[in-house]
Amino acid sequence: MRLLKLVPDNTNIDFLRWRKLASFMSFFLVAVSIALVAVKGLNFGVDFVGGQSVRVEFTQEMPPIDEIREKVGHIGLGEATIQQFGSDKAVSIRTALPEGDKTVAERAGQQLVAGIQKAFPTAKTGSVETVSGKVSEELIRTGALSLGLAIIGISIYIWIRFEWQFGVGALGRLFHEVSLTFGLFAVTQMQFDLNSVAALLTIVGYSLNDTIVVYDRIRENLKKYRKMEIIPLLNLSINETLSRTVMTTVAMVLALGMLLIFGPDVIFGFTAAMLFGVFIGGYSSVLMSTPVLVWLKVGPGSFVPRTSAGIEGGERIERKDDGAVV
Amino acid sequence: MLDFPRWKTIGISIILLLGILFSIPSFVPEKTFNSLPSIAQTKVNLGLDLAGGSHLLLEADIADLRKTQLANMEKTVRAAMRGERGPDDDIGIGELRVASNQISFLVRDQTQLDEARDRLFNETQGAGLTGQRDWNINIVDVTRIVLTPTNAGQTQAIAHAMDTARDIIDRRVNALGTREPTIIRQGNDRIVVQVPGLQDPAALKELIGKTARLEFRMVDANADPNEAAAGRVPVGSEIVPYAEGEGNGAAFEVLRRQVMISGEQLIDAKQSYDPQSNQPVVSIRFDSGGSNTFAKVTAQSVGKRFAMVLDGKVLSAPSINEPILGGSAQISGSFSVASANALAISLRSGALPVKMAVVEERTVTPELGADSIRKGAIAGIIATISVLTLMLVVYGRFGVYACIGLVFNVFLIIAIMAAFNATLTLPGIAGFVLTIGAAVDANVLINERIREELARGRKVFQAVELGYSEASRAIFDANVTNVIAASLMFWFGSGPIKGFAVVLTIGIVTSVFTAVTVTRMFVAHWLRTKRPTSINI
């Protein structure tokens, strides 16, 4: 049986040729994302702003959004945010947190459900979420904290396992990935809630997976081909790992794609964000995370093998240790 | 590569077998599961977002607790100064003042100052480990005694109140008859209540949110209604508003401050019907002390009115037609059967020592949960099949091994989650998919490396050997970063993030095991028996 090869053997693409363009693209996209978040803002869910959110499913024809908005407006909890949800007959209706003491959150949730049931007797309320202001502040704090600490923790690990240049490269890449994903949330106005933070953290973990595979190969080649110029060496490393990058990306896209199409609509946003992260991850592995190493002047001296001097060419230097310079 | 020791094969096989055994109970229907021996009754819990149910986060009103604490101390002070042996034992006091964080009063006779302080000292207790007491007693301006609660005392009081509140809520929720509710304290002043499969969260909130402090107090017959309306009431009395929908038009009653009987003296409360009107009521029974007091007071006060006060609101204020002996009574009000039942449960389980408010609620109906499970399972199966097919098409025989590893990976994740009784949430399902991705990545790294080594002209055995050893380093590094991310998510995240992190952490460990060790075992076995001179990868 002939096996499928997603990337032909002996590919030799000069990826580093596009490094200026790619860097410009990345800077541009990061800037656009930050600007989008600043201008349009994120569509925070009740997890982070407090308030109440009800998922309503219409058993018959769904009334127009404007009609829903108007009727919900009459309940007396102010302007509602209404969002279509997966199927074409379900919406999420969200209202802001009313002023008052702790017990208002509790009452407002009931008020919203009762109001919706009265306005649309045939509709079913599938889930209710009520979060008070104090709790939402805590959630946003713990969410931001876990995201920030994950990025810092991972970068430190890479710095220790590799070299500082790689740590900086990884940090830059994480910043890139996280900003772009925030940009996605800003431009689509998808709801940003606790699940989205989990998605962001996954993207962080996943792109690190990619970075490490490429960096690991660079480190190996730096030791093997000691006299090779840095740019051809980076190109070689990317090409050598290219089939892996493509294969893993395809597998992830398949898995997440199926989850997006057939999975429960409750995690639609979550899955969409991860899928986006996988795409950006593929791009970053190939075009974004290596130019940093050129600027930071990574060279053959960064990893001095402990055995005899390397010989240029295909001959392998046998090593028993894992080769890391710690 | 060829010498894969026998003990290793046996060890791996045992782990895989255990994995399958422990994951089976999670797949069988509920009925079969219940008939299993108890050791096999371990399964993956479904989170409320999947199974349907309510999650409530309650927060105690600490300010209110402090107020109650001061009010109780005020009563204690008065009682202590009254003395045990009659009027000649009393200590005269004046200018008793309760501020937000202290109680102060004057002792009229300076010679009794030490005696007063000693009596109060007996009323305070040690708190914490520092030898501090729960109240500081200071004497200022020669004759004024100031009582201040200490930090240690307050911390202890809050902890005690929260423990009691947890127990009471536990009793109330269990009285609802729902299956396996979870009620745990969280942090200093919070309690999490999780009730799976609940249909009516409003009733649950009604039930656990009620403080249920019941008091019987006399109506002050001397109060002039007009004066009372203007807010002026006789000394020793106060204005108490009617509960919503009660009072037949009256907004309040003027009641004596003194509590005749309180809810602590109840031994039973249940929902029943008023024989005359057939309206739902709550029947209560007092303990012997309570019945005696009730009989005595009602005998003295025939023709007068008393009021039943629940959580600071008057429910009803009937006249006493005849002495109420035997220690039972009825609480009437505009009850439905359900609300009367809820009140009965609350009264039976005792009053909450502190007011609790719902600060977070997440409710998912069982239908929506079931829908999510079905869709999640379908998507998971389709995703797994697509990925398996891709592996087969791209790596041939090595793809088969990778697939076997992947399937075992799924079993192992479920088995470990079942063994630890971990909860699977919706984001958890996504975490599941992600770890399958990680397992695929590990096999891709290994197989690509083998391809590479073969392309460099290495022999089959050497290429496979190098493929595994060289790829393992990258796999290790890549997964450690994910473990770092997952553990930070677990420590600092909350709710869905935590559920996701649990699955991710378990999945990373099992996926490295199945993708590297398990596939290696199969590959080694194949190489040893067939000794191929070329491989198709």
Q: Tell me which residue in B59, B396, B436 faces A102 most closely, judged by beta carbons.
A: B59
pLDDT reading at A318 higher than 60: no
Q: Do B371 and A264 touch (CB under 8 A)?
A: yes
Compute CA distances A135 → B69, B494, B508, whole Å: 26, 11, 31
Contact B121, B136 (CB under 8 A): no
Separation of alpha carbons B315 and B332, rounded Å: 7
CB contact under 8 A, B376 and A264: yes
Length of chain B: 537
Compute the distance between CA of residue B211 and CA of residue B400 in angstroms, rounded to an integer.
62
Q: Of the candidates A88, A107, A101, A43, which has an alpha carbon nearest to the alpha carbon of residue A269?
A: A43
Residue A182 has pLDDT above 50, yes or no: yes
What are the two backbone dihedrals, phi and then psi, of residue B215, each rounded to the nearest 5 degrees?
A: -135, 145
Min Cα separation B509/chain A (Å): 15
- Helix H or strand E segment including B366: helix B366-395
Q: Which amino acid is at A177?
A: E
Q: Residue A86: what pLDDT?
A: 62
The DSSP 8-state label assigned to residue A64 in this structure reads: P
Please report the residues numbered 19 through 78 in chain A whose beta carbons come closer than 8 angstroms to any beta carbon of chain B. 55, 57
d(CA A169, CA A189): 30
d(CA B213, CA B264): 9
Return the HEC string of B497-527.
Answer: HHHHHHHHHHHHHHHHHHHHHHHHHHHHHHH
For residue A94, pLDDT over 60 is answered with: yes
How far does the CA of residue A130 sit from the closest CA of chain B (Å)?
5
Pairwise CA distance, residues A151 & A173, whole Å: 10
Nearest in space to B361 (alpha carbons), one of A77, A138, A91, A52 = A52
The answer to whether the Cβ–Cβ distance between A125 and B386 falls below 8 Å is: no
CB contact under 8 A, A127 and B456: no
B493 to A262: CB separation less than 8 angstroms, yes or no: no
Of residues A57 and A235, the one with the higher pLDDT is A235
Ranking A231-235, A274-278, B40-44 by mean pLDDT, the lowest is B40-44
Cα distance from N-terminal residue to C-terminal residue, chain A: 45
Indicate the pTM of the whole model.
0.79
In this predicted model, which residue has the larger pLDDT, A53 or B2? A53
Residues of A in contact with B493 (CB under 8 A): 142-143, 146, 194, 197-198, 201
Nearest CA in chain B to A127: B364
Q: Give every residue of chain B whose pLDDT is below 50, as ranges.
A: none
Query: What does the alpha-carbon distance between residue A20 and residue A290 come to, in Å, rounded to a whole number?
Result: 11
Q: Are B252 and B242 in contact (CB under 8 A)?
A: yes
Q: Do B440 and A251 touch (CB under 8 A)?
A: yes
Question: What pLDDT shows up at residue A26?
Answer: 92
What is the phi/psi pair of residue A130, to 5°?
A: -130, 125
Helices (H), ranges, A189-225: 194-224
Quick one: pLDDT band at residue A322, thresholds 50, 70, 90?
Answer: very low
A89 touches chain B (CB under 8 A): no
H or E, element range at B282: strand B280-286
Q: What is the helix (H) or strand (E) element at residue B252, kind and residue range?
A: strand B252-256
| Inter-chain CB proximity B474 and A212 less than 8 Å | yes
Contact A258 B383 (CB under 8 A): yes
pLDDT-derived band at A102, boundaries 50, 70, 90: low
B440 contacts B387 by C-beta, under 8 angstroms: yes
Nearest to A313 by CA among A187, A226, A232: A226
Average per-residue pLDDT for chain A: 82
Pick from B443, B470, B452, B478: which is nearest to A320 by CA?
B470
Q: What is the ipTM of this complex?
A: 0.81
pLDDT band at A1 (very low <50, low <70, confident <90, very high): low
- How many residues are listed for chain A in this entry? 326
Per-residue pLDDT, A147: 83
CA distance A102 to B355: 11
The yes-or-no verdict on residue A181 having pLDDT over 90 is yes
List the structure tokens of A25: 């693209």
pLDDT of residue A179: 94
| pLDDT at res. A306 | 45
* Contact flag A102-B484 (C-beta cutoff 8 Å): no
Best of B492, B502, B503, B508 to mutate (most A CBs within 10 Å, chain A): B492
**Contact between chains at B494 and A271 (C-beta distance less than 8 A):** no
Report the C-alpha dihedral over residues A35, A36, A38, A43, rounded to 10 degrees.
Answer: -170
C-beta atoms surrounding A78 within 10 Å? 12
Q: What confidence score (pLDDT) does residue A319 get?
A: 43
* Cβ burial B37-74 (10 Å sphere, 16+ → b, else e): eeeeebbbbbbbbbbbbbbbbbbbbbeebbebbbeebb
Q: Name the band, by pLDDT with cuts 50, 70 and 90, for residue A105.
A: low
Element (H, E) at B428: helix B426-455
Q: And the tokens for A305?
A: 């093998």
Check if the beta carbon of residue B357 is closer than 8 Å to that of residue B205.
no
Closest-CA distance, A35 to chain B, in angstroms, reads 27
- Position B324 scores a pLDDT of 83
Buried b (16+ CB within 10 A) or exposed e, B275-301: eeeeebbbbbbbeeebbebbbebbeeb
Q: Verify whether the Cβ–Cβ distance B57 to A135 is below 8 Å.
A: yes
| Among the listed residues B505, B427, B421, B501, the one whose alpha carbon sits nearest the alpha carbon of residue B45 | B421
**pLDDT (0 to 100) of residue B69:** 85
Provide the angle, in degrees to the nearest 10, between the axes of the packed helices A230-262 and B426-455. 140
Beta-carbon neighbour count of residue A152 at 10 Å?
14
Scanning B84-150, the segments in alpha helix (DSSP H) are 113-123
Q: Is A275 on the interface with B (CB under 8 A)?
A: no
* Mean pLDDT computed over A55-82: 81
Report the Cα B313 to chain-centroid distance in Å: 28
- Within 8 A of B485 by CB-CB distance, chain A residues are 150, 153-154, 201-202, 204-205, 208
